Amino acid sequence: MPSVDQQPPHGKAYWRSLDELADTPAFREFLHREFPAGAADLIDSGQRRQFLKIMGASLALAGLGLGGCRRWPKEKITPFAHRPPGRVPGLPLHYATSMELGGVASGLLVTSYDGRPIKVEGNPEHPTSRGATDALAQASVLGLYDPDRSRNLMTVAGGQRTTSSWRAFDEWAGKEFQRLADANAKGAGLAVLSEATSSPSVNDLKRRLLARLPRATWHEYEPINNDHELAGSTGVFGSPHRTHYAFERAKIIVSLDSDFLHIHPAAVKHTRDFAATRRADDPQRTMSRLYVFEPGYSLTGANADHRFPVRGADVGIVLGLIAKRLMGELRPSSSIAQQRFEQTTPADVGVEQAAFDRMIEDLDSHRGESLVVAGRRQPAEVHALTHAINEHLGNFGSTVSFSTLPDAQAHVASITDLVNNMAAGAVETLVMLGGNPVYDAPADLEFAHHLGRVPTSIHLSLYDDETSKRSTWHLPRAHYLESWSDARAFDGTLGVVQPIIAPLFGGRTPIELLATISADRLSEGQAIVRRTFASLGRFPDVDRSWKRTLHEGFLAASPSARQPKIRRKGLGDFVGDIWQRWPGPESEGFELAFAPDASVYDGRFANNGWLQELPDPLTKLTWDNAVLMSPRAARELGVTTGDMVTLTHQGRSVKAAVCVMPGQHARSVTLALGYGRRDIGVIAQDAGFDFYPLRTTDAMGFALGAVIEPTGATYELAQTQDHHALDTISGRGAQERLPSIFREATRQEYLDKPGFANDHHHTGAHVVHRLSLWDENTVQGAQYRWGMSIDLNACTGCSACMVACQAENNIPIVGKDQVKRGRELHWIRVDRYFKGNDPERPEAIALQPVPCMMCENAPCEQVCPVAATTHDADGLNVMIYNRCIGTRYCSNNCPYKVRRFNYFDYHKREPVREGGALHVTADYYTRPQTDTHPLKQMQFNPEVTVRSRGVMEKCTYCIQRISAAKITAKNAWMKLSDDQKREDPRVTIPDGSLTTACAQACPAGAIVFGDLGDPSSSVAALRGHERSYEMLEELNTKPRTTYLAKLRNPIPDLIASPNPRTPDDHTGA
């Protein structure tokens, strides 16, 4: 693949003459004189008149003719002289690869146009992804083209950071590591700090490195790690194990602070499996029931049937109480613990006794099909006891299985060791393979301080970041789309990471760097990965298997049949720990609960604009994180959303803004990690607050006893949904209409009344009339009738669809300032509503994806003065960007408010955080066009128009995909015999062969797209489903996008229906 890097980091690539290379004055003079021809004549006064005449005429032609003043961008076209093999111009290619995050790979399929990867999808064959992805993978393609990525090696020379080159590094490294490999050194003084990785190649190289340099040390650190889970499983099984859940078999699920549906390495699989248990499509309408105990809302909590806000420190007690009821023989030994064990009731941790009893009954009566899941923030004893309960309930082998992780390291211990070595002066050379420990290492280790005392530190990183700036060498890392590597998925499936594009900035992979360090025979990434591959199994024909694996993208792992057994011996201590370490129901100060962020994860995606602008699924915050605080705590502190507070814990303090979040435990605040980064790029600059300084080795999950004080200052947060306090008229108005907009019922109600979704007594919706002011466009004789069905019951609200849409449809980000003004451009959004009147404990959360409804009777079309939005032959409501003059009337008349307007030319702007009075940064017009623009353009989908300023846009149902599918289908049809043609006069596009970007990304399979005109299509079937309803149907818009009503499965008779509405509440009839 050709490199697209036109500008090597240093030196001139080609020169026309030796004079140019030397840049001599003679050459400059020559350049100056060379052109324009006749320029010298202008100085001759005799010619001046002639000159003025010509200039006058040009001005008249250019200026007055108007056509002349249109400035087209300059472009260079470089066609191929010979077509590369296997390439058809204009046709995209798909490559399978893997993206590793936190040591777990997800299988991907990347679409590439002309050598440019533009879109990431899940690999449909891959066992964990099954074609779906999360938002982070969807957005990763933008990370590839990030103009702020590091382009140069940096080194320290004479106390100054200067740019360097790979050649210089290789030369230096050859000597340096040779010196370390000396017979007497044997690697003493060398330490390697790696990210968590499951790459067999890295492990192989690690083995080779340690064989060559036996005294070197290898450390691993990720801020979001599985230390507790590993410690728990080691405690009860004797060795570290990874837990696998089979949600599809679980009827009763108890989540103890686990966000298994969202921020979990296997969330995509979990979402798919969990959604399968919620469809209630069998005659008995069976559904799983999910109980969640957590301090602040997670997406899993938002999808719970019963959610209990408990402090993070109380989650263990909930588990202890469950164990007490189910496994009474497990008693703690110490007296304090015993006393607590005897006396504590669920009410002490804020859980209603009645609900708790019913949960125990549920668990007890669903042996083998229940599941207790512990979150990774929870301490080891919680994980250990969870395993014991699952075993007790007979879930081992049914809903829970395990795989061993022989190489697993405890990350906190590992980095603590490293820092101790650094402090002792035992580390001379530190190699950091990715990661960003200066930013995200536990605060009490003072990593930055100790790093400064290491003589030689090498940091391989995508960005010239916090750690790079404090290291003696910064090496640009290749993005995974530029890399050869391998990695294992959550279930152990081996995935090969293959490059889709040559490194844009000449970055290298950790594998290549390790090869350099260990002076490996091989230096090419591909060769190393292939060598590892060959060693992984007994292949009859390695070459064939390799090619096949590259093509498929993965090599299935053989499942480990043996399941571990709980060792009773260690268990007692863990039970003791749970009761012993509990701070009691009341403790001083606030609990700080650290959480990875839904957008930037641990901070590594902080410079990704799509993710920064992707609203948090629950807080709807963009471009920032905040201190998520319950309304009661906020009231007590006298603060509200946007007020700054100081968080102090053990002498460390951080200032941050508050965001009031219903459902948060009153004594616990949630702090999303990964923000507050500085000087790594335009996007990450000043986004949010860095909470790592509060996170210490003993408080990686929770920190108790923090003090929060208002500072009096305020900070502007940009949320895509405004809060309306529940007691205002707006809040009441919203609650009043929710049952009609977001239709839901309990399972019991569904059993009693299967057609509840269209029962006006149930939903409070108005009775529908079908009268139109105008003759309706019936779209009769249309070849296709595209439609979409969104299953609210399956949707978890993860927002992967939003990023998928953004990537597919060239949707720009607008910046925080513009989000504050409500100008975000997402074509599909996920609406979030809190239900109920108690802000401390909402009855439920409603999450509803809203794309364009493609109304057959579209209100937008009728009001456009220039007919820029009309129906096409298939009945789609389409926007004609060329015709749009931007009156914005269509948006005013759109009841779903799905239309988006380009207030500025957002693609040409750097996103502005604080637009200030002028809305544009001062250098908006004056800044010369840098090469950042072509770089960003490389991501564009060539099949989708890039919209300019002043034009309305909206969801198109991915019309470019529809067109492509039509062309394929019609071409195939033309090749049929006459008889076959007669059989299929409609030219059917096979159901499932065409889908939209949002539907393709959805891990829950909640979005289904297809042809309503094809009676056998799944979308046609779903439209006829009894739970199917049209949002705002009373407006007679006849939407093509319909919803399947949500079902919840609370304990019958315990909690009232989510719709406590009397039948004659409304006068709609």
Residues in contact with another protein by CB under 8 A are 721-722, 724, 728-730, 733-734, 736-738, 740-741, 764, 766, 774, 818, 821-824, 829, 831-833, 848, 850, 859, 862-867, 883-889, 891-893, 895-897, 899-905, 917, 919-920, 925, 949-952, 1032, 1035, 1066-1068
- Cα separation, 304 vs 775, in Å, equals 46
Residue 1001 Cβ, how far from another protein at the closest point, in Å? 21
CB-CB contact of 580 with 362 (8 Å): no
Beta carbon nearer to another protein, 482 or 1033? 1033
Q: Running DSSP on this structure, what letter comes out for residue 61?
A: I
Instruction: Find the shortest distance in angstroms from Cβ 872 to another protein.
Output: 16
Considering beta carbons, is residue 551 or 927 the nearer one to another protein?
927
Tokens of 461: 């990183």
Q: Residues 270, 260: contact at Cβ < 8 Å? A: yes
Name which of 39 and 867 has its Cβ closer to another protein: 867
**Least CB distance to another protein at residue 763 (A):** 11
Least Å from the CB of residue 746 to another protein: 23
The rounded radius of gyration (Å) of the Cα atoms in the chain is 31
Specify the residue, 353 or 728, whose C-beta has the smaller distance to another protein. 728
Minimum distance, C-beta of residue 864 to another protein, in the bound complex (Å): 6
Smallest separation, CB 659 to another protein (Å): 17
Residue 167 CA: distances (Å) to CA of 233, 458, 504, 510: 46, 15, 17, 17
CA distance 114 to 939: 11
Task: Please enumerate in sequence order all residues whose Cβ is within 8 A of that of 355, keeping only pairs 6 or more positions apart, or say none.
Answer: 306, 308, 1051, 1054, 1055
Measure the CA–CA gap between 1003 and 273, rounded to whole angstroms: 9
Considering the complex, what minimum distance in angstroms separates the CB of residue 882 from another protein? 9
Nearer to another protein, 96 or 819 (CB): 819
Nearest residue (CB) to another protein, 698 versus 736: 736
Which of 397, 822 has the CB closer to another protein? Answer: 822
Residue number, 770 or 975, with CB nearest to another protein: 770
Minimum distance, C-beta of residue 641 to another protein, in the bound complex (Å)? 14
Q: Which is nearer to another protein, 479 or 829 (CB)?
A: 829
Write down the least CB distance from residue 758 to another protein, Å.
17
What's the rounded Cα separation, in Å, for the pair 348 and 351? 7
Burial 772-793 (b: 16+ CB within 10 A, else e): eeeeeeebeebbbbbbbbbbbb
Q: Take residue 753 and report the two structure tokens written for it.
A: 């009344």
Least separation in angstroms between CB 740 and another protein:
7
Where b means 16+ CB within 10 Å and e means fewer, 744-767 reads bbbbbbbeeeeebbbbbbbbbbbe
Contact at 8 Å (CB) between 902 and 953?
A: yes
Helix (H), strand (E), coil (C) string for 472-488:
CEEEEECCHHHCCEEEE
Quote the least distance from Cβ 865 to another protein, whole Å.
4
Q: Supply 654's token pair.
A: 């951080």
Residue 422: count other Cβ atoms within 10 Å of its Cβ: 24
Of the two residues 457 and 740, which places its CB atom closer to another protein in the complex?
A: 740
84's enclosing H/E stretch is none
609 versus 615: smaller Cβ distance to another protein: 615
Q: Which amino acid is at 771?
A: L
Q: In whole angstroms, give the CA distance from residue 661 to residue 629.
A: 6
Q: Least distance in Å: CB of 326 to another protein?
A: 42
Whether 16 contacts 516, CB under 8 Å? no
The terminus-to-terminus CA distance of the chain in angstroms comes to: 66
Cβ of 519: how many Cβ atoms within 10 Å? 16
Nearer to another protein, 325 or 766 (CB): 766
User: Which residue, 166 or 889, is less far from another protein as judged by CB?
Assistant: 889
SS3 category, 834: strand
Smallest gap, in angstroms, from Cβ of residue 950 to another protein? 3
**Which C-beta is closer to another protein: that of 192 or that of 790?**
790
Q: How far is the CB of 890 from another protein (least distance, A)?
A: 9
H/E segment holding residue 299: helix 299-302
In 3D space, the residue among 435, 430, 523, 427 whose CA is nearest the CA of residue 170 turns out to be: 523
Q: Which residues contact 477 (CB under 8 A, 6 or more apart)?
A: 150, 434, 460, 461, 462, 507, 508, 509, 510
d(CA 476, CA 221): 20
